[in-house]
Structure 1
Amino acid sequence: MSIPEIITTETPWTSNYEAALKQLHADPEHGLSAAEAVRRLDLYGYNRIESGKKINPLMIMVNQFISPFMLLLAIAAGLSFFFQEWLDGIAIMAVIVINAVIGFFMEFQAERSMEALKKLTIVPARVLRDGRLSEIPSEELVSGDIIFIEGGDMVTADARVIKSTQLQTDESALTGESLPIEKNVSVLPEKTPLAERYNMLYKGTFVTNGNAYALVVQTGMHTELGTIASMVQKAGQAATPLEKKIRSFSKKLIWMTVILLVIIFIAGIINGQNLVQMMETSIALAVAAIPEGLPIVSTLALAFGMLRMARHNVLVKKLSSVETLGGTNVICTDKTGTLTQNKIEAAFIQINEGASRINLDIAGASIKWMDGNEIEDRAAYDQLCCIAALCNTATYYSEGGTEKESGDPMEVGLLKMVYCGHTKQLDYIKEYPKLDEVPFSSDTKVMATFHGSKQGYYIAAKGAVEELLHSCTSVLEGSEVVALDESKRNNWLNYAEQRAQSGLRMLAFAYRNTSEKESYFLHQLTLAGLIGFIDPPRPEVSQAIAECKSAGIKVVMITGDHPATAKNIALQLGLANQEDEVMHGNAMKPYAELTAEDKTKWLNTSVFARVSPAQKLDLVSLYQEKKMVVGMTGDGVNDAPALKKADIGIAMGQRGTQVAQEVADMVLKDDAFSSIVLAIKQGRTIFDNIRKFIIFLLSCNMSELFVIATAAILNLHFQLFPIQILYINLITDVLPALALGVTKAAPHIMERKPFSSSEPIIDRERWKALFVYSSVIAIATISAVFASHGLLHADEAWNTDLCNNILFYTLIFSQVLHVFNMYFERGVSFFKSEVFTNRYVWYAVFACTILALSAYWIPAIRDVLKITIHGWKDWSIIIVFAFLSLLINQLLKRLKVII
Structure 2
Amino acid sequence: MDASKDDKEAKAAVPGAPPPLAVPPGGQVGHQSERRSAKRISVLSAPDKLLEPGKSFGITLYELKVLMGNYGRRSVKALYELGGIEVLCARLRTDSAEGLKDTEQLLKLRKEFFGSNQLPTEEPIPFRVFLLEAMKDYVLYMLTFVAALSMVTFIIKSSMGHAGHEWVDGLAIFFCVVATSLTNAVNDYSRHRKFRSLKTRLVHDKEFSVVRNDSAQQIPVEEILVGDVCLLKAGDRIPADGVLIQGTHLTIDESAMTGISDSVKKDERRDVFLLSGTHVMNGIGRMVVTGVGVNSQAGIHLLAEWHEENIFRRHVDATSLAHQSSTVSDHMFPAERPMNENLDHDSYLQKKLSLVAVKISYVATALAVVVTLILILRFTATQYSFNDDRFEVVSFLGYTMHFIFIGVSILLVAIPEGLPMSIAIGLTYTVKQMLKDNCLVRHINACEKMGNATSICCDKTGVLTTNRMAVVQAFISQVPWRTIPQFQLLPKTVGELIVESIAYNCSYISNVIPSDRIGALPSYVGNRTECALLRFSLNLGQDYHSLRKKIPEEDLVHVYPFDSERKMMSTVIQTERGYRVFTKGATEVILAKCSRFHAEDSAVKPMTEKDLKSFLYKVNNPMANDGLRTIAIAYRDFRDKYECWEDEKEVVKDMILLCILGIEDPIRPEAPLAIRQCQEAGVTVRMLTGDNIHTAHAIAVKCGILEKDDNHLVLDSKTFNKRIRGEQGVIDQRLMDKIWPNLRVLARCSSKDKYTLVKGILESNFNNKSEVVAVIGRETRDALVLKRSDIGFGLNMTGTDVTKESCDIILLDDSFGSILKALLWGRNLYDNFCKFLQFQAIISLTAVTLTVACAFTFNNSPFATIQLVYINVSMNLIASMVLATENPNEAIIYRPPYGRNYPIITKKLLVNILGHSMYQMCILFVLVYYGERIFKVPSGRQDSAGDIIPTQHFTIVFNVFALFNLFNLLNCTKINNQRNIFKGFLDNHFLVLVWVSLIIVQFLIVQYGHDIFLTKRLNSQQWQWCLAIAASIFVWHQILLTIQYYYREQLREELDYRAPEVVLEQDRGNYPREENRPREMWSNAINEARIKIRIVNMWKKLVDNKDETEDTQVSKV
| Range 743-752 or range 673-682, more displaced | 743-752
Matched residue, 1:90? 178
Alignment partners' CA distance in 2, 1:719 and 1:558: 64
Matched residue, 1:279? 404
Q: What's the offset of the Cα at 1:88?
A: 0.7
Identical pairs, percent:
17
Matched residue, 1:254? 361
Matched residue, 1:29? 19
Say if 2:937 and 2:952, in contact at 8 Å, map to a contact too.
no
Alignment partners' CA distance in 1, 2:453 and 2:791: 8
- Runs of at least 5 residues in structure 1 that lack an aligned partner in the other structure: 1-10, 50-54, 124-148, 159-164, 175-193, 213-219, 222-228, 359-365, 368-374, 451-460, 511-524
Out of 859, 867, 872, which is 1:724 matched to? Answer: 867
TM-score normalized by the length of structure 1: 0.67
Alignment partners' CA distance in 2, 1:634 and 1:235: 22
Out of 883, 894, 899, which is 2:1042 matched to? Answer: 894
Q: What's the offset of the Cα at 1:690?
A: 1.6
Matched residue, 1:547? 677
Matched residue, 1:522? none
Say if 1:68 and 1:251, in contact at 8 Å, map to a contact too.
no
| Range 570-579 or range 674-683, more displaced | 570-579
1:185-204 aligned at under 5 Å gives the runs: 204=279
Q: Which amino acid aligns with 2:911?
A: K
Q: Which amino acid aligns with 1:401?
A: A
1:710 aligns with 2:700: no
Alignment partners' CA distance in 1, 2:771 and 2:132: 28
Alignment partners' CA distance in 1, 2:931 and 2:365: 33
Say if 2:347 and 2:444, in contact at 8 Å, map to a contact too.
no
Matched residue, 1:142? none
Matched residue, 1:619? 759
Out of 987, 1007, 1022, which is 1:874 matched to? Answer: 1022
Q: Secondary structure at the match of 2:901?
A: coil
1:582 aligns with 2:725: no
Matched residue, 2:94? none
1:840-859 aligned at under 5 Å gives the runs: 840-858=990-1008
1:57-136 aligned at under 5 Å gives the runs: 83=150, 84=170, 85-101=173-189
Alignment partners' CA distance in 1, 2:457 and 2:247: 32
Q: Secondary structure at the match of 1:761?
A: coil
1:341-360 aligned at under 5 Å gives the runs: 345-346=470-471, 348-350=473-475
1:451-600 aligned at under 5 Å gives the runs: 474-475=599-600, 486=608, 489-492=611-614, 494-495=616-617, 504-507=629-632, 530-533=660-663, 538=668, 540-555=670-685, 571=700, 577=712, 579-582=714-717, 596-597=733-734, 600=737
TM-aligned CA distance change 1:653 to 1:396, over 3 Å: closer
1:303 aligns with 2:428: yes
1:811 aligns with 2:961: yes
TM-aligned CA distance change 1:236 to 1:263, over 3 Å: closer
Alignment partners' CA distance in 1, 2:341 and 2:757: 12
TM-aligned CA distance change 1:600 to 1:26, over 3 Å: farther
Q: Secondary structure at the match of 2:522?
A: strand
| RCO comparison, higher one (Cα < 8 Å, 6+) | 1
TM-aligned CA distance change 1:261 to 1:496, over 3 Å: farther
TM-aligned CA distance change 1:433 to 1:644, over 3 Å: closer
Q: What's the offset of the Cα at 1:621?
A: 11
Q: Secondary structure at the match of 1:734?
A: helix
Matched residue, 1:242? 349
Matched residue, 1:232? 336
Q: Which amino acid aligns with 2:520?
A: G
Out of 373, 398, 403, which is 2:522 matched to? Answer: 403
Matched residue, 1:136? none
TM-aligned CA distance change 1:34 to 1:263, over 3 Å: same
1:538-568 Cα distance to aligned partner (Å, 9 max, x none): 5544543443333233445667x58869966
1:662-687 Cα distance to aligned partner (Å, 9 max, x none): 55443222122321111110121122
Q: What's the offset of the Cα at 1:796?
A: 8.7
Q: What's the offset of the Cα at 1:803?
A: 1.8
Q: What's the offset of the Cα at 1:62?
A: 11
Q: Secondary structure at the match of 1:507?
A: strand
TM-aligned CA distance change 1:553 to 1:417, over 3 Å: same
Q: Secondary structure at the match of 1:609?
A: coil
Say if 1:571 and 1:578, in contact at 8 Å, map to a contact too.
no
Say if 2:854 and 2:861, in contact at 8 Å, map to a contact too.
yes
TM-aligned CA distance change 1:446 to 1:720, over 3 Å: closer
TM-aligned CA distance change 1:355 to 1:435, over 3 Å: same
Q: Secondary structure at the match of 2:600?
A: strand
Q: What's the offset of the Cα at 1:652?
A: 2.6
Matched residue, 1:762? 905
1:309-362 Cα distance to aligned partner (Å, 9 max, x none): 222222334555433322233445456644555665436544798969x7xxxx
1:428-476 Cα distance to aligned partner (Å, 9 max, x none): 789x9999999998799699999xxxxxxxxxx9978659976756336
Matched residue, 1:3? none
Alignment partners' CA distance in 2, 1:584 and 1:66: 58
Out of 877, 882, 893, which is 1:734 matched to? Answer: 877
Q: Which amino acid aligns with 2:682?
A: G
Q: What's the offset of the Cα at 1:852?
A: 1.6
Alignment partners' CA distance in 2, 1:485 and 1:656: 38
Out of 401, 414, 423, which is 1:289 matched to? Answer: 414
Alignment partners' CA distance in 1, 2:993 and 2:828: 21
Q: Which has the higher helix share?
A: 2
TM-aligned CA distance change 1:686 to 1:715, over 3 Å: same
Q: Secondary structure at the match of 2:868?
A: helix
| Range 812-821 or range 322-331, more displaced | 322-331
Q: Which amino acid aligns with 2:872?
A: N
Query: Number of aligned pairs?
Result: 773
Q: Secondary structure at the match of 2:440?
A: strand
Q: What's the offset of the Cα at 1:492?
A: 4.8
**RMSD value, Cα:** 6.5
Q: What's the offset of the Cα at 1:579?
A: 3.8
Matched residue, 2:453? 328
Q: What's the offset of the Cα at 1:822?
A: 0.9
Alignment partners' CA distance in 1, 2:698 and 2:31: 46
TM-aligned CA distance change 1:718 to 1:547, over 3 Å: closer
Q: What's the offset of the Cα at 1:830?
A: 2.0
1:718-750 Cα distance to aligned partner (Å, 9 max, x none): 722222222222332233332222323233211
1:821 aligns with 2:981: no
TM-aligned CA distance change 1:416 to 1:19, over 3 Å: same
Say if 1:504 and 1:565, in contact at 8 Å, map to a contact too.
no
1:693 aligns with 2:693: no
TM-aligned CA distance change 1:297 to 1:81, over 3 Å: farther
Q: Which amino acid aligns with 2:677?
A: E
Q: Which amino acid aligns with 1:609?
A: C
Alignment partners' CA distance in 2, 1:318 and 1:64: 25
Say if 1:681 and 1:745, in contact at 8 Å, map to a contact too.
yes
Q: Secondary structure at the match of 1:401?
A: coil
Q: Which has the higher strand share?
A: 1
Alignment partners' CA distance in 2, 1:603 and 1:264: 58
Say if 1:327 and 1:755, in contact at 8 Å, map to a contact too.
yes
Q: What's the offset of the Cα at 1:892?
A: 1.9
TM-score normalized by the length of structure 2: 0.55
